[in-house]
Amino acid sequence: MTENTVNVLDLGSENMDNIPDLEPAPDGSEVEIRLISHMTGFTKDDQLPYLSPVFELPDYPNAPDFNKFLWLPCDKLREIKGEKKYNQARRSMADFMEAFGITGPRFDMTEYYGSTAYAIVGIEENDEYGRKNRIKKFVLSA
């Protein structure tokens, strides 16, 4: 087996000083978002299914990537969390799907990588990830 390993790296004239800090888009701004990946899983406590799409902001090269947590609407969610949470999950998923032109009920998320939509973003801050955007609302066509 052949292994290609480079031990000496040459960055040439690339200046590794003065790298811009990560900076989210302004709170309340309407921005273009691009779907770049996703995660799925089950919550630890209730074993409820979720989707977490990951986005980047094409017009903000120094903005950190961010995600949105979406419950997957299902009978178990309705049973455990109640009708209100179930309907909120349905609305949130419907808005995400409409924003990205996703038709369902069955779809392959990877087919939508690179797709763009618009959203109103806010800013959240936490110790682990610092300041990053969050989606307040998808901008849907009228």
Q: Which two tokens stand for residue 60?
A: 């903000």
Phi, psi of 87, deg, nearest 5: -70, -35
pLDDT per position as a tens digit, 14-46: 888 889 999 999 999 999 999 999 999 999 999
What whole-number distance in Å separates Cα of residue 140 and Cα of residue 86? 21
Residue 63: name the closest of 139, 118, 121 by CA. 121
In the prediction, which pLDDT does 14 show? 85
Query: What is the reported pLDDT for 49?
Result: 97
40-78: per-residue pLDDT in tens? 999 999 999 999 999 999 999 999 999 999 999 999 999
Tell me: pLDDT of 1 over 70.
no
**Tell me, what DSSP letter sits at residue 84?**
H
DSSP 64: P
pTM higher than 0.75 = yes
pLDDT digits (tens, 9 = 90+) for 64-116: 999 999 999 999 999 999 999 999 999 999 999 999 999 988 999 999 999 99
Domain ranges of the chain: 30-139
Q: Across the chain, which distance is largest between two alpha carbons, in Å?
A: 60
What whole-number distance in Å separates Cα of residue 137 and Cα of residue 9?
A: 44
